[in-house]
Structure 1
């Protein structure tokens, strides 16, 4: 089974693909999709949609997993995150993928062992779980963590 993990953000969306074979996990690919803050919102959302659609077309995942929206102190940031997330989920929906959603704290706990882990701890643990892989950046590491957590939490 191939799982596409997603860490949506308007500034930079992370994605990661893993293969699950029983209890064995292996890395397939990962990356980040940055958008320019100078570009109009519709253009940024279209870029996220098309880039994720391309990843799906290239790798044919069996399902996807995404972090749930969390509420920021700044309502404007929450709204932008929700729009980016909607664009990414729409790409998954268009491809007919089931998307499991997980709280960020649950992902961190499943991968690192504590729900309060920071980005460096998440990236370090992803490297421990998948030795030798090159991670494109913190957002890609988070996306791989979402996929890994999904594999553990949603067996079958």
Structure 2
């Protein structure tokens, strides 16, 4: 299975390409599509469409996993991101990808097991799950990786969380919110 993960935006679209074979993740590529804020919106949307089309043709994914919109305080922002998201979905559909949508809550829960996890905690888990030497950058690309992992996990009935949960003990978990540093230590030390 090859998945294109997408963190939608207007200025920055995070993307990732992940393979999942023999119960193992393999990072093929990740990065961002950037558009210039001074360009008219229609040109920015065209750039997003054409660059994603090239990525799809280059890597031939079978699935697209895209993050749902969440509430914005700024109505102008939500409208522009919704436009970009629509173009991204159109691109996936026209390239015959199976498209799945995930809320930020589903992604946080799918990656960390905790729906209110902080961004740093999600990034640390992405690094751990994919056995990367460092947290992937920029944040939009790390989010796209998390979205792709969530999709693969949902398709495979929670494979990675079962494997990780076997390694972790919950006896040392505090009953309150933990910091990203404490979370990292918990994951890296297997809960001991």
**TM superposition score normalised by structure 1:** 0.94
State the partner residue of 2:62: 62
Change (3 A) 1:138 1:20: same
State the partner residue of 1:105: 105
State the partner residue of 1:153: 154
Query: Superposition pairs for residues 25-36 of structure 1, below 5 Å?
Result: 25-36=25-36
Residue 133 of structure 1, CA deviation: 5.7
Which structure ranks higher in relative contact order (CA pairs < 8 Å, sequence separation ≥ 6)? 1
Structure 1 spans left out of the alignment, 5+ residues: none
Runs of 4+ in 1 over 3 A off after TM superposition: none
Asked whether the equivalents of residues 27 and 133 of structure 1 are also in contact (C-alpha less than 8 Å), the reply is no
Asked whether the equivalents of residues 16 and 30 of structure 1 are also in contact (C-alpha less than 8 Å), the reply is yes
Residue 71 of structure 1, CA deviation: 2.3
For the residues of structure 1 that align with 2:152 and 2:97, how far apart are their CA atoms? Answer: 15
Asked whether the equivalents of residues 111 and 145 of structure 1 are also in contact (C-alpha less than 8 Å), the reply is yes
Residue 21 of structure 1, CA deviation: 1.4
SS in 2 for 1:147: helix
Query: Superposition pairs for residues 9-88 of structure 1, below 5 Å?
Result: 9-88=9-88
| Further displaced range: 66-75 or 102-111 | 66-75
Change (3 A) 1:133 1:96: farther
SS in 2 for 1:54: helix
Residue 121 of structure 1, CA deviation: 2.0
Residue 142 of structure 1, CA deviation: 0.2
SS in 1 for 2:17: strand
For the residues of structure 2 that align with 1:79 and 1:113, how far apart are their CA atoms? Answer: 30
When Rg is computed on C-alpha atoms for both structures, the one with the higher figure is 2
The answer to whether structure 1 residue 140 and structure 2 residue 141 are counterparts is yes
For the residues of structure 2 that align with 1:36 and 1:87, how far apart are their CA atoms? Answer: 17
Residue 59 of structure 1, CA deviation: 0.3
Structure 2 spans left out of the alignment, 5+ residues: 158-192
Change (3 A) 1:6 1:133: farther
For the residues of structure 2 that align with 1:91 and 1:69, how far apart are their CA atoms? Answer: 17
Asked whether the equivalents of residues 32 and 136 of structure 1 are also in contact (C-alpha less than 8 Å), the reply is no
State the partner residue of 2:176: none
Asked whether the equivalents of residues 2 and 61 of structure 1 are also in contact (C-alpha less than 8 Å), the reply is yes
SS in 2 for 1:115: coil
